[in-house]
A and B are shown apart, each in its own frame.
Chain A
Amino acid sequence: MLKPGISDVQGQVVERSLPALGWENVSGVRVGKHLEFEIEGSSVESIREQVEQMCERFLANTVIEGFRVDIDA
């Protein structure tokens, strides 16, 4: 997701489109990316550490984006 404070023009366009469809109570729309993958490891902790490194180095650009890691063990 783009960090708070970085204008999300995609989110703004989606938000402006919603009232036309009758949903007039939606605000703060942000558009981000969702990546899913399988990963092998010995513990949830070590996998989380690896995935966070993957996000820091490659999957996210931390100049403009934040990230959240969810693991289904």
Chain B
Amino acid sequence: MPKIAVVVFPGSNCEQDVVHALRAEGADADYAWHGDDDLGGADGVVLPGGFAHGDYLRTGAIARFSPVMHAVRSLADEGKPVLGICNGFQILAEAHLVPGALIKNEGLRFLCVWTEVTVEDTGTIATRACEKGQRLRIPINHYEGNYRANVEPRVAFRYVDNPNGAWQNIAGVSNDAGNVVGLMPHPERASHESLGSADGRTVLTSLIESCRLLQRA
């Protein structure tokens, strides 16, 4: 059973949902504090959604310098799975662990809505269990999800109907190696039929399976 650390920053608010959803899929998921130096030997890590450090200065700008980010970077450098959801994606972008940046939504609206995304690349740690072109119904919940990049990123997910003005309809990207993925939609909020969709499960099981495979390696 792979061990997955879910980092809690001051202002994170989706960590319990992520831990619950990962445990429901059989992972040994537990919390890690942002001030810790290590991730307790975890096989993979999730940076959950929320408003780390109040989103002051820029989303993720202060969180990227949290002590735990050294351990997150080490894990990423080892090729282990790193997944950033929403604010976690913003933190990964600020830390340059994935390319690009997230600016305010087109229309200046905070968006808490269901979206449909297509899986563009099944070679990443968050899409391994998906099929290319598969449509997933997963909600977003953000003010700054309008993706911009000064390089061509490796695209993991695109919106079917672009809700926030994101460049090239990008909803999620990975690093070149595919082991660090950031996405704006919240798979943990679509992890059971009772929530309105269970499509996010395939993202979470992709992560768990990636951890399992790298654990064996």
User: Which residues in A have some Cβ–Cβ distance to B below 8 Å?
Assistant: 2, 6-7, 9-10, 13, 33, 58-59, 61, 63-64
Question: Counting chain A CB atoms within 10 Å of each CB, which of B58, B106, B107, B146 scores highest?
Answer: B58
User: Which residues in B have some Cβ–Cβ distance to A below 8 Å?
Assistant: 57-58, 61, 65, 93-94, 100-101, 103-108, 146, 148-150, 165
9 pairs, CB–CB < 8 Å, chain A vs chain B: A9-B107, A9-B165, A10-B104, A59-B57, A61-B94, A63-B101, A63-B148, A63-B149, A64-B148
Residues on the B chain within 8 Å of A63, using CB: 93, 100-101, 148-150
Contact B108 A13 (CB under 8 A): yes
Contact B105 A64 (CB under 8 A): no
Question: Counting chain B CB atoms within 10 Å of each CB, which of A2, A6, A9, A63 scores highest?
Answer: A63
Chain A nearest Cβ from B168, distance in angstroms: 14
Residues on the A chain within 8 Å of B58, using CB: 61
Residues on the A chain within 8 Å of B105, using CB: 9
Contact B108 A9 (CB under 8 A): yes
Contact A9 B106 (CB under 8 A): yes
Among candidates A10, A33, A59, residue contacting B108 with C-beta atoms closer than 8 Å: A10
Residues on the A chain within 8 Å of B107, using CB: 9
Question: With the chains together, A13 CA to B104 CA distance in Å?
Answer: 12
Contact B108 A64 (CB under 8 A): no
Question: With the chains together, A10 CA to B165 CA distance in Å?
Answer: 14
11 new A-B pairs (CB below 8 Å) besides A10-B104, A64-B101?
A6-B103, A9-B103, A9-B106, A13-B108, A33-B57, A58-B57, A61-B58, A61-B61, A63-B101, A63-B148, A63-B149
Residue of A nearest to B57 (CB): A59
Question: With the chains together, A9 CA to B93 CA distance in Å?
Answer: 20
Residues on the B chain within 8 Å of A33, using CB: 57
